[in-house]
Every structure is written in C-alpha cells, then in structure tokens.
Chains A and B, each alone.
Chain A
Amino acid sequence: MKGHVWRPLYVVIGIVVLLLLFRFFYVPDDFGIQDQGFTFGFHRLSNEQEWKDFPAKYKGTEYCNECHDDKVASISSSQHEMIPCEDCHGPARNHPEDPEKLVVNRSRELCIRCHSKLFMPSSGRNDIPGIDPNTHNTGMECSECHNPHNPSLEDM
C-alpha cells in the first residue's frame, strides 16, 4: 500500500499511544468504578477519605459541658434548654486553645430570628412568644433585660 494510506494511520496510532500514556501517568490507581458501579460510582476512591478528614468546627453541647457544666445546667433548666451553646457562642473549633475565647453573639438580630412575631399557622413559629422588633424597645439589645440562660422576666 502507498504512503498516503499509512501516514494517517501512524498519526492515529501515535495519538492513541499518547492518550494511553497520558492516562497511565495522570489517572491515579484508585480511580475506578468502585462499589456503586459505572453509572454512579466512577471516582477516585481516596477522595472519600479526603472528605472524611475535613475539619469539623461545631463540637456540640456535650463538648461545652466538659468544662462549663454550670452554664449548661443553667440553660437546661430554662425555656431555652433546646438551644445548642454554639448557636449563640459560635463554633467551638479547637477552643480553649484556638480560639482561646469565644465571642458571644448578644445581638438583637440573633434573638429576633425566633422572636420576631410572624403569623405562621401550621409552623412551630406560631407557638414562640414574639415581639414586633420595630416597636419593642428599639435600639436596645434583648440581653439588657432578658438573661438568655433564663429568659423569662418573671423568673429572673
């Protein structure tokens, strides 16, 4: 056969060899179809571990309780018992090393997330005591009158 037939074939073979070589060096060994089959499981297996190793920032109330059991006890006997510490104090991260102190969010904005009165029948929101933030002691932080760990004014 003539050269003009062979030459394109050489090019094709060359490209295929290059692609296979590239794939050999570029694609990691653990890349494959894995447990979920070709349609859903085609991936690099070690990425699962990478996601597992992602650092957690929120530690949970039990973690806070290890040192601040008095505070946890006080809030647990109030109407705010179901609020996790970190919702107001921020994520613990590696406290007490890093950060050494957590910044407490005392803002009005935080309280009115639940306590701004909205008429929402068929939602738990309707059962929460609410105020109109535009008229109720505007310009003040709620914590000036209400203790977040014991919010009811009658019991203070």
Chain B
Amino acid sequence: MKRRDFLKNTAVFITGASVSLSALELVDPKEVLASRPDLRWGFLVDTYKCVGCGMCVKACKLENDIPYDANVTRTWVERYVIMKSGEVVKDSPKGARDGFTSKLVDQGESGPRLLRDKEIAQGFFVPKLCNHCTLPACVQVCPVGATYSTADGVVLVDRKWCIGCGYCIMGCPYGVRFFHPVVHTADKCTFCYHRITKGGNTACAQACPFGARRIGNLRDPNDPVAKEVLNGRVGILRDEYGTKPNVYYIGLNKEVH
C-alpha cells in the first residue's frame, strides 16, 4: 500500500467510525414539526392565586417518590416580599414543602428576618417547576441521549440510560434539576407524564386548592390554558436564555427570574 492510500483509508475509517450510526439518517425539520402538531403540553401559573400553602410541593413529592425529607424537590414555591424601599426579600424554606406559616423570612446564613407589615409594598408566591423548554439546554448538553424531548413537548430523563455526569444539572438555566438520592440519576419534573397521558391532571395542579397551577394543550385553541397563554398577559422566566419555556406566569414582576 502506498503512503497516500494508507492516509486516505485511515481518514475514511476514522471519520466513519466517529459518526454515530443513527446520526447518518437525515431528518426533515418540516416533517419533525408536522409529526405531532396537535399536542404540546404547557403549564400556567397564577401568582395572584397562589397562597403559599405548599400542598403542591407535598403532593409532588409523594406522587413521584421524591424522598420526603431530602432537600430536593421537583417543584417548589418561592415567597417574594418587595419592600416600600425597593428591597426584594425572598425565601423558599424546604422548597415550601410545609407551606409558609411564619412571618420570619429565611435569609440563609444571616438567619430569619422579621419584616414589618407597614414596610411591605408587595408580597406574593411564585411556584416553580421544570419549564419543559422548546429548546431545552439540558437536552442539548446530555452526551448519551438520556435527557430528551418527547413529540408532545415533555422533557424526560431515561433513568436506565443516564450516566449521572451532571451536565444537565449545570446546563439548565433555571436550576430545576437535581440528583435523585435513591435512584442516583438526574431528576426533574415530568409534568406527571404518567397522569396527563391518561387524561389526568398533574399531582401539583390537582392538589392546589386555589387553581394557581394548570396544565393544558397549547395547540388546542379551545383549551382554557392555551386561551390564557395566547390572549392573556403572561410572562416566562429568563427569556434571555432562549430556551423558550412552556411554563407561563400570570402576574410576573421584574424581580422574579
């Protein structure tokens, strides 16, 4: 064999071997978009209605087998207090698993802080969960295809396939991911995929007595959630990251992100 042939063959070999086999199948983006145009799950959070009872957080933990006492949650609720001075004070003790029952705001290392009612301009609660982004950063960084987006727009983690590298936890701009202390893989909200695909509600939305959380089909113009998202004044978190979240908020302030 000539030196040139050797180099050529080696080059062909290496390029061939480094391309994963399934990556060679080409996809037409239009086909991808058309594959399920009728269903796209979206979530609506009403911060005016939320009272910070934390029943949603508790229900989520019990429904999805998230260790109850471990400091991890798939969904949590933040309390925001905006003072007349403009100062923003917030906390989320234990992710609000036990609700907000105290006037003391947990300020971490500097301890609890008592705010005087007179000084408070605004106070509200903001439930948070995975945004099931249209362009999810967590999926893009997963090296093995364990985190993925389904055709109906739910982002899931394959527990058998996750190698626990933690890239998705670092990649998510919303900090919604964590390591599940029992199954030892990356974990996050699934939109209660086991419930919504059978026509049910998510556990958090079902547990919320105030209707502050709702899930719906954004592609159905008659769906009450879709109507609110399309016609109401709703906001999303951290638009600047370009992940296109599918969790929409009513009553979002600039202080919340």
Contacts and interface: CB of A to CB of B under 8 A. Distances in A.
Interface string B149-183: 11100001011110000000000000000000000
Interface stretch (A31-39, A66-74, A96-104, A142-150): A31-39
A71 to B, nearest CB: 16
A151 interface: no
A36 B145 CA distance: 12
A125 to B, nearest CB: 4
A82 interface: yes
A42 B148 contact: yes
B206 A58 contact: yes
B158 A123 contact: no
Interface stretch (B87-95, B121-129, B217-225): B121-129
Contacts of B194: 51-56
A125 B52 contact: yes
Nearest to A61: B206
Contacts of B125: 120, 123, 125
A53 B194 CA distance: 6
A142 B208 CA distance: 21
B241 interface: no
Nearest to A90: B62
Contacts of B55: 87, 113
Given A35-B35, A60-B201, A113 B139 contact: no
A9 B12 CA distance: 13
Interface residues of B, number: 76
B70 interface: no
A41 B35 CA distance: 12
A155 B180 CA distance: 47
Interface string A116-147: 10111111111010000100000000000000
A128 B51 CA distance: 9
A120 B52 contact: yes
A22 interface: no
A38 B48 CA distance: 40
Nearest to B81: A120
Contacts of A106: none
A1 interface: yes
Contact of A23 (B1, B21, B35, B117): B21
24 contacts: A12-B10, A33-B27, A35-B36, A35-B151, A36-B151, A37-B29, A37-B32, A40-B140, A41-B149, A42-B145, A42-B148, A47-B159, A48-B150, A48-B193, A56-B192, A58-B63, A58-B206, A82-B211, A87-B59, A91-B63, A116-B100, A120-B81, A121-B122, A126-B123
Please list the 5 inter-chain residue pairs (A to B) with the smallest Cβ-Cβ separation, ordered nearest first.
A113-B99, A43-B148, A120-B123, A54-B194, A42-B145
Interface of A: 1, 5, 9, 12-13, 16, 19-20, 23, 31-44, 47-48, 50-58, 60, 82-84, 86-87, 90-91, 109, 112-114, 116, 118-126, 128, 133
Interface of B: 1, 3, 6, 10, 13-14, 17, 21-23, 25, 27, 29, 32, 35-36, 47-55, 59, 62-64, 79, 81, 98-103, 117, 120-125, 135-136, 139-140, 145-146, 148-151, 156, 158-161, 190, 192-195, 197-198, 200-201, 203, 206-207, 209-212, 251
Given A34-B151, A47-B156, A58-B63, 13 more contacts: A1-B6, A33-B27, A35-B32, A35-B35, A36-B149, A44-B158, A58-B206, A82-B209, A82-B210, A87-B207, A113-B55, A123-B123, A125-B52
